[in-house]
Structure 1
């Protein structure tokens, strides 16, 4: 652990979290936006479903930890929603079990501390044609369809409304992009830079509108070692300095 202590944001989920620092990923974008304001850490597990997630909740988020997260962003559902394999193996989780697993994750996180905030990401759509083209014969039973994604997305959203948890409808948000099926994914499932931009925009929207105290939107958070120094060149308007960490306008252009 290094100091000073900053608010801790944890990204928890499957491959969309593990890969969130790749391909212009949403984790990397958040780390840039929250530079000197919060630490962004990933706990992403490629291929995992909600069933595996609940098995390791106490290890990833121990209740007796000295420092608890200020924010946890959770994503599971893409693997759970895949069609079942005849062998009985594979990542598929039946919908009722998926809902209960997500409930257990939410309950555990809520009990970490009074200051831990939670955002769930619902299951995004997929580019079905590209997924099918990349699927081998053995794995062909592990069907990914937009209809299954929609069903699991809606189930996650309904659970969050029931439990008063912030939730982002990625299934709908991504499909608002022009030519989303081709621009938002690298392989039909995992996010390309354009898809990650959607995730960041939606997360920042939630953080800006949430009535949480303390505020977790980047404009509302203090900059670590905010500088008012004779060594800094300051513009005549007193709004910008030579220190890029003190600039706001370069991020406001894209990330309000």
Structure 2
């Protein structure tokens, strides 16, 4: 189970065979595919960033579906659609979907409280997750200068101490 922050369907196609090799001895029983939010980002004048034109996005999703369907007759796929986007709010960095830094801290605190009360131990710790495809990509989010990108593959939470508390 793995997601890749900031990825688009074009970048996913580049590694699809590595993530889901056809010759693997065990194939997934369920794959959840969620692309579209980054693909539908506002195009950058230099061709950088995650934006993918609609017709290419449609073809990318077809190719992803065909590949996953070819893995096994038992493999099932769920496609999640992208939420509606208000481009003016995205430009202002307040898209109405993502929490602010302060909001994220509140949610994290409450989730950790519930997990501690349940005496639950994670089976996969976020710090130990590998960064398989951490190289820079022109599909990474565009930097404030508009002429370069920001590699967020090595992203860490704004306040890691929240995750390491007792």
Report TM bin, short chain: 0.5 to 0.7
The aligned runs of 1:92-107 (5 Å cut-off) are 92-107=51-66
Q: Is the 8 A contact 2:34 2:79 kept in 1?
A: yes
Structure 1, unaligned runs of 5 or more: 1-40, 136-143, 145-180, 194-256
Question: Quick check: which has more Rg, 1 or 2?
Answer: 1
Using structure 2 for the length normalisation, give the TM-score: 0.55
Q: Are 1:48 and 2:7 counterparts?
A: yes
Output the CA distance in 2 between the equivalents of 1:93 and 1:123.
Answer: 13
The aligned runs of 1:54-133 (5 Å cut-off) are 54-126=13-85, 131-133=90-92
Aligned length: 103
Bigger RCO of structures 1 and 2 (CA < 8 A, at least 6 apart)? 2
- Pair 83,129 (structure 1): closer, same or farther in 2 beyond 3 Å: closer
Structure 2, unaligned runs of 5 or more: 108-166
More helix as a share of residues: 1
Output the CA distance in 1 between the equivalents of 2:76 and 2:70.
Answer: 10
Match of 1:56, SS state, is helix
Output the CA distance in 1 between the equivalents of 2:33 and 2:75.
Answer: 13
Output the CA distance in 2 between the equivalents of 1:129 and 1:87.
Answer: 20
Structure 1 stretches of at least 4 aligned residues deviating more than 6 Å after TM superposition: none
Q: In the alignment, what sits opposite 2:154?
A: none
Give the superposition deviation at 1:126: 4.1
- Pair 124,57 (structure 1): closer, same or farther in 2 beyond 3 Å: same
